[in-house]
Structure 1
């Protein structure tokens, strides 16, 4: 397991020992501001303080792959959780964009935010994208319609300093503020689940537990590491650190947690014993901006994108088979948290966590023969494989239809059929019924399959020597013309929907432009009227002055008479 951290450069360490694996110095100026792993843990996207965002590969050795030149002044970036093709980026101008790695262009634009975006996060299934703004707003965008769905603000706070989405529950997002307040929202109901004055200073980072839906860890400049239970709305553990923490992230197993300090040190803690770190290693010489654990999802025949040497070429799709991971063990950490000097011997309850991507054999899971099924697991060693059972059933049915072979192989076939039928009835049949006997003149009678006893043996099932012939299912045949009509209908509907959306957007934009033009015309008319009023008042003043000091004929006669007297 790797953990990546950024400051003036990127460093990748082994968790939890802290052994340095890779170091990468970006060609851009200044420190790095944002980092994100791709879904398979093979790529990283870096956002520097100045310059274009950069995609690098960390498969065998770390190397540069591509600069995202189309987006100016990026501030943050994040890969989607379900695909490594798309990257969401925020900018200083408030733009939130989706960049397509395969086509190397901007795929979608979200509505512009009122201020600079400093953090973007995808929800668990990429249905929504959350963006934190410097003005204190948290904008929620719909990834399907690319519209603004909601806007949140922390109560009793005008700022936002940290943002995080739950890694498995798609409806939870959390945020922290410079006032020390932490809040969590349910985006499906647009309700504030809980908020708490968790810190006495700025909340620098928050993270959700990957194995618990109600546990959140927060850090702040008050040198406190706190764990908050959202369901009970209480703080379980609070640990005072030696220096101010700047970044935090949960290990995917839910037990370990990494905390980055202001002096560049990274502490590795066990959530069951938080009084001192298990490991402490020097990550950087300066303040660490962000730490993030490597994502590891194993898929069969996953599609990868390989960048060619020519920068003008688009990345090619490469099918890379990966090993299937059937299960992952995890431990309930909050039940084992302990801050004393000695960790008590508490038995650990191990559970198997399955995800959509780590499902193993879907057919085995569907019939209940996986490691999670207690009934199948109790008799796993004695059960034949599914393919062998189906072959035996087919052979028995074929033999039963032959009169000559029925009398010869009746005892053995009937015994085999009883054994196979007992196993299939416990695993495959959804309604737990088996056929007791078959007579063409009578209807088929069914009864519930008897449950397994404590010793794991089923009671004997009596069946008649005559075995019913199972009807073969007819394959559904669809003509090519029907396929063509279906595809045409779907394409038309999609095009119609997109055209309607485009029409509405154009309509709203034209209405906005028309409203702005009307406002400008009104402003122009008002300014002209003001000028006329000012000119009229100036003329009236001149007229009054002329009337008071006017030089008419009477004035001239009076002046002449006065001069004559002299």
Structure 2
């Protein structure tokens, strides 16, 4: 398994076991999505074969884990309506598949991309300032987004309409962080520049719990434990990491670092945390028992903050080596069967399904050839979407649910 991190214009992939155990030289590969341009966000897809990156280059780039560029959206030949004139601050794949990806940034619009068709299929409006967080709920029924104006908006993916709009309840702080529970469709947490956290049940009208100014500086990362949604972890520029028990509505454990934290990712074992710092390090903690970090990885130069950290999945969507292709690497073996999570205003009638793949004559006969096939498969329709530089360090579910759950919110007034 790999852990991805970005600092400045650089993206690096590390052997997760080697990194968390403090072994020397865990870097597997590194690349520059756009030399000299800041990278803001990273996300692994459901197969663990593709990493999505976004930043100040106004594109979402897809990378095979070996370091080859699979492509970018919007494409160079895209519709003018798809061309972005914004910095992209947040991206997320949908919860059930890698076909759909949402994005948000300085354009103040949430966009939903169909990665199978390489098109923006929906633009969701409502924000009046920069969008800093976007995420699907665990059922792919709803999409939540936040902005620097302190707005939290929930959209229905069945209709594209806004379900509710609320503001940060106390100080209307600049919101920077948004995270949905992985198991509860209605539970999410937000955090922002005044250091406060709010736990929301989206069937209600106010936070279920709040931790006011828990951080003495802006919060820089927040997440739910994958194994226990009652456990929340946050980090901040105040050099503090806090663990919360939502059943008692208080912080139950805190620890400090010698540098401000700049990002956070929880491993899906529920307890291992990777926290990036402003001086280019990644700190690994076990939030159950450890006060000191399990390991420290010097990922980037001390002048580069770790802007985003992302673990691969423990149980990814499996891919047969005999059917490997860039298409399958991104979408999985059953990518074409992924149900649409919202109406597509761009019907594909009379159009062949686009291919990401290599020529049909190229096949993978056994696992030893899978990596080689991945490295050689760059004849994709995603090609020529952006520049990159590679430095290898080592060889290496059903239809949409209805929206009745939100019925208590029908009378919520707009902002």
Q: TM-score, normalization: structure 1?
A: 0.53
Q: What secondary structure is seen at the aligned counterpart in 2 of 1:118?
A: strand
* Residue-by-residue CA offset, 1:114-136 (whole Å, 9 max, x unaligned): 11212211211221111111111
Whether 1:272 and 2:275 are equivalent positions in the alignment is no
Count matched residues: 318
Label 1:299 to 1:220 Cα distance change in 2 as closer, same or farther (>3 A): closer
Q: What secondary structure is seen at the aligned counterpart in 2 of 1:13?
A: strand
Whether 1:139 and 2:146 are equivalent positions in the alignment is no
Q: What secondary structure is seen at the aligned counterpart in 2 of 1:161?
A: strand
* Residue-by-residue CA offset, 1:81-107 (whole Å, 9 max, x unaligned): 211111112142211111112222221
Runs of 4 or more above 4 Å deviation: 298-305, 316-320
* 1:203 to partner: Cα distance: 1.0
Label 1:301 to 1:262 Cα distance change in 2 as closer, same or farther (>3 A): closer
Equivalent runs, 1:160-175 vs 2, <5 Å: 160-175=175-190
Structure 2 equivalent of residue 10 of structure 1 = 11
Cα pair 1:3 1:291 within 8 Å, conserved: yes
Structure 2 equivalent of residue 385 of structure 1 = none
Select 1:291's aligned residue among 302, 309, 320.
Answer: 309
Find the aligned partners of 1:143 and 1:236 in 2 and give their Cα distance. 36
Unaligned runs of 5+ in 1: 321-355, 358-566
* Residue-by-residue CA offset, 1:294-343 (whole Å, 9 max, x unaligned): 124444679987359xxx982258999xxxxxxxxxxxxxxxxxxxxxxx
Equivalent runs, 1:146-545 vs 2, <5 Å: 146-159=160-173, 160-197=175-212, 198-285=214-301, 286-299=304-317, 306=326, 314-315=354-355
Structure 2 equivalent of residue 99 of structure 1 = 113
* 1:181 to partner: Cα distance: 0.8
- State the structure with bigger RCO (CA 8 A, min sep 6), 1 or 2: 2
Q: What secondary structure is seen at the aligned counterpart in 2 of 1:17?
A: helix
Structure with the higher helix share, 1 or 2: 1
Select 1:68's aligned residue among 32, 48, 73.
Answer: 73
Unaligned runs of 5+ in 2: 20-25, 75-81, 329-351, 365-396, 399-415
Label 1:268 to 1:99 Cα distance change in 2 as closer, same or farther (>3 A): same
Find the aligned partners of 1:288 and 1:16 in 2 and give their Cα distance. 19
Structure 2 equivalent of residue 47 of structure 1 = 54
* 1:176 to partner: Cα distance: 0.8
* Residue-by-residue CA offset, 1:122-172 (whole Å, 9 max, x unaligned): 211221111111111121111111111112322222221221111222211
Q: How well do the aligned residues superpose, as a CA RMSD in angstroms?
A: 2.8
Label 1:224 to 1:301 Cα distance change in 2 as closer, same or farther (>3 A): closer
Cα pair 2:34 2:57 within 8 Å, conserved: no
Find the aligned partners of 1:53 and 1:28 in 2 and give their Cα distance. 15
Cα pair 1:17 1:279 within 8 Å, conserved: no
Find the aligned partners of 1:298 and 1:262 in 2 and give their Cα distance. 30
* Residue-by-residue CA offset, 1:346-370 (whole Å, 9 max, x unaligned): xxxxxxxxxx89xxxxxxxxxxxxx
* 1:51 to partner: Cα distance: 3.3
* 1:191 to partner: Cα distance: 4.0
Find the aligned partners of 1:189 and 1:42 in 2 and give their Cα distance. 38
Find the aligned partners of 1:217 and 1:192 in 2 and give their Cα distance. 17
Select 2:141's aligned residue among 121, 124, 127.
Answer: 127
Structure with the higher strand share, 1 or 2: 2
